[in-house]
């Protein structure tokens, strides 16, 4: 479902309409709140979209604990007031922001990093609702990787529309060695959120040829789609969402 929605949303030309579409798609599967946030390498020049417009009235977005504690790897983490006990390094001011988000209905959430600290810009998505921890994990852990792919696609489109620095490609995993150079290039681009049209443009290929390379690459890797390719690229194939408890 999320992949089909992402394909439709990628065609939008205005970031406000895109964000509204992202929020509605997430609400359809049970997430009532979402935040997309990114900052420069020096934690300045924050850009954010949020379903809680006044969340950062007391603490600037650059100090969001997501940026400081969740963007060290591409793991999808459980965060929010429901899981704050898992993060002993959270500061009192960060606790205050987390508690405020909880009161607004963002009590349990997934942190979905799109780019890690140390990059020119880094950040990602925070997606959640008002559930208790156990119910949240039971309800959503199985769709965490589908959610990651959706976020990759939407992050790419947000950056396209806002003119921020394009998302860099991750290093291809060792399993890509069995692919031809073109297959590896195409599958890596698709896995990291590029549409087939964008991949065709970047590789100077036709969309039909991109599709052929993708199919042959997927076959050699023993996978069926780019959601599974994204899991390989980020080293999360077959891994559950970490619970830390």
140 contacts 165 by C-beta, under 8 angstroms: no
How far apart are alpha carbons 187 and 172 in whole angstroms? 9
Highest mean pLDDT among 39-53, 100-114, 178-192 belongs to 100-114
Domain 174-233 fold is Arc Repressor Mutant, subunit A (1.10.10)
> Quick one: pLDDT at residue 193?
74
> Quick one: pLDDT at residue 170?
65
Query: In which band, very low, low, confident or very high, does the pLDDT at 235 lie, cut at 50, 70 and 90?
Result: low
User: CATH for 2-162, among 3.30.450.80, 1.20.120.160, 3.40.720.10, 1.10.3720.10?
Assistant: 3.30.450.80
DSSP string, 203-242: HT--HHHHHHHHHHHHHHHT--SHHHHHHHHTT-TTPPPP
Highest mean pLDDT among 88-102, 149-163, 228-242 belongs to 88-102
Q: Where are the domains of the chain?
A: 2-162, 174-233
User: By CB neighbour count within 10 A (0-12 exposed, 13-18 middle, 19+ buried), where does 161 fall?
Assistant: middle
Whether residue 143 has pLDDT greater than 50: yes
**Across 53-58, average pLDDT:** 88
């Amino acid at each position: 479902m999320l992949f089909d929605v992402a394909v439709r949303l990628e065609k939008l030309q205005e970031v406000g309409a895109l964000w509204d579409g992202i929020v509605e798609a997430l609400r359809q599967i049970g997430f009532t709140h979402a935040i997309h946030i990114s900052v420069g390498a020096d934690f300045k020049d924050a850009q954010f979209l949020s379903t809680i417009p006044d969340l950062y009235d007391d603490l600037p977005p650059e100090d969001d604990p997501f940026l400081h504690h969740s963007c060290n790897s591409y793991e999808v983490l459980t965060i929010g007031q429901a899981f704050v006990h898992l993060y002993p390094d959270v500061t009192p001011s960060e606790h205050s922001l987390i508690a405020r988000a909880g009161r607004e209905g963002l009590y349990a959430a997934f942190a979905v990093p799109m780019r890690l600290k140390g990059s020119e810009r880094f950040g990602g998505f925070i997606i959640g609702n008002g559930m208790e921890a156990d119910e949240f994990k039971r309800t959503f852990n199985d769709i965490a990787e589908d959610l990651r792919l959706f976020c990759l696609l939407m992050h790419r489109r947000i950056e396209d529309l806002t003119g921020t620095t394009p998302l860099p490609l991750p290093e291809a995993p060792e399993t890509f060695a069995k692919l031809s150079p073109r297959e590896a290039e195409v599958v890596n681009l698709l896995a990291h959120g590029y549409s087939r049209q964008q991949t065709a443009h970047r590789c100077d290929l036709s969309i039909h040829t991109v599709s052929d390379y993708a199919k042959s690459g997927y076959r050699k890797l023993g996978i069926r789609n780019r959601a599974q390719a994204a899991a390989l690229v980020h080293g999360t194939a077959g891994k559950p969402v970490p619970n830390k408890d």
